[in-house]
Structure 1
Amino acid sequence: MDEFDLAVAEHRAGRLDAAERGYRSLPESPKVLHNLGVLLIAQERFDEAEAVLKRVLELDPGNGPSAFSLAMQLLARGAYAEAWPHYEGRRRQPGLHIPSIDHLPEWRGEDLAGKRLVVLGEQGFGDQIQFARFLPMLPPNAGVTYVCSPPLMRLMQNRHARLAPGVVGAAPFQGDYWVLLGSLPLRLGVTLENLPPPLPTPVVWRGRGGGVGVIARGRPSHTHDAHRSLDPASTRRLLGLGLDLAPEATGARDFADTALIVAGLDLVITVDTSVAHLAASMGAPTWVLLPRRGLDWRWLRDRADSPWYPTVRLFRQREAGDWASVLDEVEAELAALGLRKGA
């Protein structure tokens, strides 16, 4: 085992100080610096991590994982204009499976007057709900087909987008250009200061005394699910506060069905998963429980609100893995509001 492998072994074992010493003792190279950047992020040394990841890209401009990791750090501190070009590195990030259309040219800002644009949804359900807000920013004289995941189709049917069903590659989508949904902020010049509101949904929150709905766990295959989902004891505690909104509990067939349930609730309390984006897009008061480690970029750092969603309130772990204190805070706030369990 060489010195790099030894440092990686220390890293995987959680002995970060030893791993850092190992990485820093090695000659400078993209793979060593990338691992060091990931380590620094885990230690919340974000400024140092940014500098290291930028150095990787100086040495290897096509390094997708480092570009993507750098984008996450820039987005998390609100540097959107600087971040979006690096966010394109997600296309070369193993495990993300970013789609494309081979038989059409990719749209990179060309005039769309009278043209047909195919917008490909990507990544998770929450990403597709969150980024759909950029569709109305496209020129009104362009024909837009938004290809989203099937469970989102009924939710997304509205005056802003014509939807095409199915999985990319299953049909020869017709159009003049295609673009990734996650690339629209780059193409459209989106910053933290000019974020548009969420895309209107067919169902609007009305909040008629339906109580509280909760989601305790996200999709297990998510990279950071071990951090964002509640442990069994905390799950039981949260489920005791409200109606379980998980599809297996409600029988919801898709997000439109879940939206109908959310529409009658007073409040949604959820971990960082797609229902947070659904409820917040509907205008429902939404409390999002956030982990200390593996925190997603879109919630930024050290704030209790979200520029993406006016009705969101963020409850953050102070110590990694400590959901108990987060739930203490939630329960105290619920008691002050006098809210009850959903019916």
Structure 2
Amino acid sequence: MHKHLLLLICTALCSSALYCNQTEITAQISQHQTRIAHNPENAEYHFAYGDYLASLDRREYDTEAFTHLKKATELQPHTMQWLFRLGSFACRIGLLQESLEAYMHILKKHPSLTSVLYNAGFTFKVAGELDVAARIYAHIIAKDPEYEPAHLGLAFALVAHGKYAAGWKEHLWNLKKQKKDSPELRQFIQDGTLAGKRILLIPEGGLGDTLHFIRYAQRIHHMGAQVIVAVQRPLLALLSGCPYIDLLLPTGMPIEKFDAKATLMSLATFFQDTQDTIPQNIPYIFPDPNRVAYWNKQLADDHSFKIGICWQPDSHNDISRLPIARRGIPLSFFHTLATTPGVTLYSLQQHEGLDQLNNLPQNAIIKTFDSTFDVTHGSFCDTAAVMQSLDLIISTDTATAHLAGALGKRTWLLLPFNSDWRWLAHRSDSPWYPTMRIFQQERPFDWHTTMHTLHDVFFNEVYPSITHS
């Protein structure tokens, strides 16, 4: 079994199946069901049907897909590829015990299969069993020191568990492997010789990652370096107000002279930060005062408790994640707040998800902004400014949430069951953003319980002060 089979659990599935129309899907389902009806004990028929449904990557087919994959492995229990497929799919849809059972069935006969060990470790990590996951990753590394996914998995399992020193040390192995370890910058930091050096920082990941880790440009500037930052073009206007950036450029522009270069996301590793040393100079992003004054005037007549909401991340980014890690939440879960007296919701949603505003109950009001918002003055410039007039921001894990945290605004973050390492495990707060509170799914796909908890907090801790003011 090739080790790259592990990618089955962390990449988007069959693109041709993803986009075929419903008529084609219905016809395919009918054909599979007919074959199985005529020969219900044929393992290959069950596997083909389950595999097809799984490849559609649609929630409404998940249960049936799992049932038929499981049936195939019961009828033909020694086919490793089928068990592996069952295990990876079960993990994707949050059936973690079933996923582990499939992997353990393989490992009983083939205990040294690296890809299966890795996937088992990954499933334990998703389940929150970080110590178990770390031991599995370490076991893989002991027998295959060059197995990069295990190093990365171990690094972030350790950091998510609050074991920063060990986690950053492990992550440095990955950065060296990827040639992102910036030995020059690390030496300057170690020797205390950053003063006077020209340091180039470049983005890695999405816009939210840049907003999260741009704080390190401030630290490096305060250590006496000249800080050059290349960022994604949409962030140029927003970050132009950061006084600790000496030269701000769009990515792709040639820069000839610098003493060291590093990605923004690598800097926490280089500084070996812990919960107590993470840069918390909040705010570290500064909206245009003119836009702040403008929006303060626009919202001056609204004396209610003002909440900005963002419910849908970029779908192209989200589809690459496991289903249990996808971050979007239906707007319908905000209807309770949208119908609460003394509360006004403002949509901070950009582009995708706006169609859901057309399906609001008659008594639910969510205020929106016109088409010039975040366009005329630059991406996020109006969002950052209007946030200064809001009392609370509730957002999924998007750039909007990072921006709110960077501004020091009261922020409630909604997380799926399987979330990013930076939010740490089993935490309702964030050392990255002191004004942030985390509401995470307790069970895969269960936004109902998560929002019930959020409503309890709001109506017990926040709303009484609104009604008495």
Report if TM-score (shorter chain) is over 0.5.
Answer: yes
Which stretch shifts more, 155-164 or 75-84?
155-164
Q: Would you say the 8 A contact 1:57–1:67 is kept in 2?
A: yes
State the match for 2:327 in structure 1. Answer: 229
- Decide which of 149, 152, 155 is 1:68's aligned counterpart: 152
Alignment of 1:274-289 (within 5 A): 274-289=399-414
Q: 2:84 aligns with which of 8, 17, 39?
A: 8
Structure 1: state its 5+ residue gaps. none
Equivalent position of 1:109 in the other structure: 187
TM alignment of 1:1-343, pairs within 5 A: 4-14=80-90, 15-16=98-99, 17-88=101-172, 107-110=185-188, 111-138=193-220, 140-157=223-240, 158-168=242-252, 170-197=253-280, 198=282, 200-203=284-287, 209=303, 211-220=306-315, 221-222=317-318, 223-224=320-321, 226=323, 227-232=325-330, 234=332, 237=335, 240=338, 242-248=345-351, 250=369, 251-253=373-375, 254-292=379-417, 294-336=418-460, 337-338=462-463
Query: Separation in 2 of the partners of 1:99 and 1:161?
Result: 25
Post-superposition Cα deviations, 1:266-303, rounded to whole Å, max 9, x if no partner, equal 100111221111111111110111222x2222222223
Query: What CA distance in whole angstroms lies between the structure 1 residues aligned with 2:134 and 2:383?
Result: 39
Cα deviations by residue, 1:32-75 (Å, 9 ceiling, x for unpaired): 32222112223333211110111222233333222221122111
Structure 2 residues not aligned, in runs of 5+: 2-77, 91-97, 340-344, 355-368
Other structure's SS at 1:11 match: helix
Letter in 1 for 2:88: R
**For residues 231 and 199 of structure 1, do their structure 2 counterparts lie closer, same or farther at Cα, with a shift above 3 Å needed?**
closer
1:188/1:231 CA distance change after superposition, 3 Å? closer
Contact between 1:29 and 1:56, CA under 8 Å: does it hold in 2? no
Deviation at 1:100, TM superposition (A): 6.4
Relative distance call for 1:90 and 1:243 in structure 2 (3 A) is: farther
What SS class does the counterpart of residue 187 from structure 2 fall into?
coil
Q: Is the 8 A contact 1:121 1:148 kept in 2?
A: yes
Letter in 1 for 2:116: V
Q: C-alpha separation between the residues in 2 aligned to 1:45 and 1:153?
A: 40
Q: Does the C-alpha gap of structure 1 residues 92 and 23 become closer, same or farther in structure 2, counting only changes over 3 Å?
A: farther
Question: Kindly, what percent of the aligned residue pairs are identical?
Answer: 27
Q: Secondary structure at the match of 2:223?
A: coil
Following TM superposition, by how much is the alpha carbon of 1:160 offset from its aligned partner in structure 2, in angstroms?
A: 0.9
Q: 2: CA distance between counterparts of 1:239 and 1:219?
A: 24
Higher RCO, 1 or 2 (CA under 8 Å, sep at least 6)? 1
Equivalences, count = 332
Counterpart AA for 1:174: K
| Structure with greater helix share of residues | 2
Q: Which moved more, 1:174-183 or 1:30-39?
A: 30-39
1:232-291 CA-to-partner distances (Å, cap 9, x unmatched) read 464564784721101236432312221012111110011122111111111111011122
TM-score, normalising length: structure 2: 0.63
